[in-house]
Amino acid sequence: MISSLAATGSPSVFRRDPDSNTLRLSRRKTFISLLRNCKHISQVPSIHAKIIRTFHEQDAFVVFEFIRVCSILGSIDYAYDVFRYVSNPNVYLYTAMIDAFVSSGRSADGVSLYHRMIQNSVLPDNYVITSVLKACDLKECREIHAQVLKLGFGSSRSVGLKLMEIYGKSGELVDAKKVFDEMPVRDQVAATVMINYYSECGYIKEALELFQDVKIKDKVCWTAMIDGLVRNKEMNKALELFREMQMENVSTNEFTAVCVLSACSDLGALELGRWVHSFVENQKMEVSNFVGNALINMYSRCGDINEAKQVFKGMRDKDVISYNTMISGLAMHGASFEAIKEFREMVNRGFRPNQVTLVALLNACSHGGLLDIGLEVFNSMWRVFSVEPQIEHYGCIVDLLGRVGRLEEAYRFIENMPMEPDHIMLGALLSACKIHGNMKLGEKIAKRLLASENPDSGTYVLLSNIYASSGKWKESTEVRESMRESGIGKEPGCSTIEVNNKIHEFLVGDIKHPHKEAIYQRLQELNRILRFKDNEPEIIADLL
């Protein structure tokens, strides 16, 4: 009906009964339906013309839908032109236009329109405040936060969550916590948001305290806390919390499983990792690539490469990350040719290798001493795969040259790099110098490392050992003295062992373990056995 009337070109047809409320409601409904059915912005102008001819360009409901549809179809300027001609836009139209600006990446325009709304004495509501906060930087957030408090919207849950998000992302945790404390209902969602930001900024103690205060925790809250512990290298605590989660009969999801598997990988907790794998299968949880990749990584790092290969083989829809993880695991276990085979299969299946893939492949070449293949891979990175070599790739070649004893060539390679070498690369070459007995080059590299801004204890120890292995005891002692004078302490050695699904951690000279007496008694027995066999167990003797 509307399209046929519009075709007559006579707007007077629509003016016969301008005060008919029923007719206006009917037309409004029709225009909104027509707008919602638009698939392309080119369909909108003809509907716009009909809206104008029927005097609906001031109808807030129609204009609201117009702005929304133009935003979806990517024509923000058109939406704003319509908005500008509304005589007295209400808060809902301001919200729609601000949201359109923000969602299209025009944050400054969104904030500017919000301030104009305030100047025009339009009272904001929770929705428009939440919308404009999405566009705010920290300074603008503080200004709007002040308005929020003056206008009495401080108790709004949605506004509070958005303020927490901005403060949290900016590292302003005191302000984020203050907003959280002032919320009338501090539910598990708000607590989870706060726990996440505490964890991201390294405040794991505060995150744990907040977590313990949450009375009703869902799996998202539990998982957030476990993930926070893992990200802050508190692996033992993460596993303890997971066990507690099981005792509380809280259901888990795949993200929980991945967090726990990551902790198992770091600690070498193979048996617990197996249990998580079994748990995932028993819960009929989908073994997605997300979980599958975590399982491959866990089995590889915990020493069971065969099980890692079985998981990889059983994955239906492998992705680039799956191949990267498997190639890295094979490289870690010295299965260099298998790693190369998987790489070829990956390329043949149409996957494009990325920087991580090529680091893994070069590591495989390094661990297998495959110099020619490694150099071929490195030289083909950009030419074949369009991957620009980064410092990690250069480091792999230095490590590979060092392993096969071509130390001078490795040093020349470093000198010709387009970037400065990092301490990891130089440390690897220094270690190779010690292994191959090249004291001259080792001393040169060590002095270069010691002259850097942050020399670590490993550099001093390696140089001292190089001198000692060459019989230069005086120089070795001087290096140790220099290390002490610089206030650099050697990090104590640490090892972990899994017994009955519990991880035990030991440091050199550790006397804190509850079973320390039995442990040291056993060490003394081992020491006596070794001495009886005319060995000199220096490491065990040092422990005692």
Residue-wise DSSP of 456-492:
-HHHHHHHHHHHHHTT-HHHHHHHHHHHHHTTPPPPP
- Residue 3 confidence class, pLDDT cut points 50, 70, 90: very low
327 and 364 in contact (C-beta within 8 Å)?
A: yes
**Angstrom distance (rounded) from CA 540 to CA 234:** 28
**Angstrom distance (rounded) from CA 327 to CA 332:** 9
HSE, side-chain direction, 13 A CA sphere, residue 514: 1
Task: Supply the pLDDT for residue 22.
Answer: 85
Task: Supply the pLDDT for residue 469.
Answer: 63
- Residue 165 confidence class, pLDDT cut points 50, 70, 90: very high
Task: Supply the pLDDT for residue 110.
Answer: 94
To which H or E segment does residue 507 belong? strand 502-507
**Angstrom distance (rounded) from CA 238 to CA 242:** 6
Mean pLDDT across the chain: 84
Q: How far apart are the first and last CA of the chain?
A: 96
- Whether the per-residue pLDDT at 217 is higher than 70: the answer is yes
Beta bridge partners of 502: 499
- The SS3 call for residue 400 is helix
Its sign, for the CA torsion 232, 237, 243, 244, is negative
Instruction: Specify the higher pLDDT residue, 237 or 443.
Output: 237
What is the per-residue burial (b if ≥16 Cβ within 10 Å, else e) of 506-521? beeebeeeeeeeebee
Share of the chain above pLDDT 70, in %: 82
| Arithmetic mean of pLDDT, 60-86 | 93
Between 65-69, 251-255, 511-515, 521-525, the lowest mean confidence (pLDDT) is in: 511-515
| Arithmetic mean of pLDDT, 226-242 | 92
Which stretches of 34-177 are assigned E, i.e. beta strand? none
- Residue 289 confidence class, pLDDT cut points 50, 70, 90: confident
Between 7-16, 30-39, 227-236, 378-387, the lowest mean confidence (pLDDT) is in: 7-16
To which H or E segment does residue 274 belong? helix 270-282
- Whether the per-residue pLDDT at 423 is higher than 50: the answer is yes
**What is the tens place of the pLDDT at every residue in 345-391?**
999 999 999 999 999 999 999 989 899 999 999 999 999 999 999 99
DSSP letter at 15? G
| Arithmetic mean of pLDDT, 487-507 | 60
Task: Supply the pLDDT for residue 319.
Answer: 93
From the list 269, 231, 204, 243, the residue with the least C-alpha distance to 497 is: 269
Between 59-63, 162-166, 372-376, 486-490, the lowest mean confidence (pLDDT) is in: 486-490
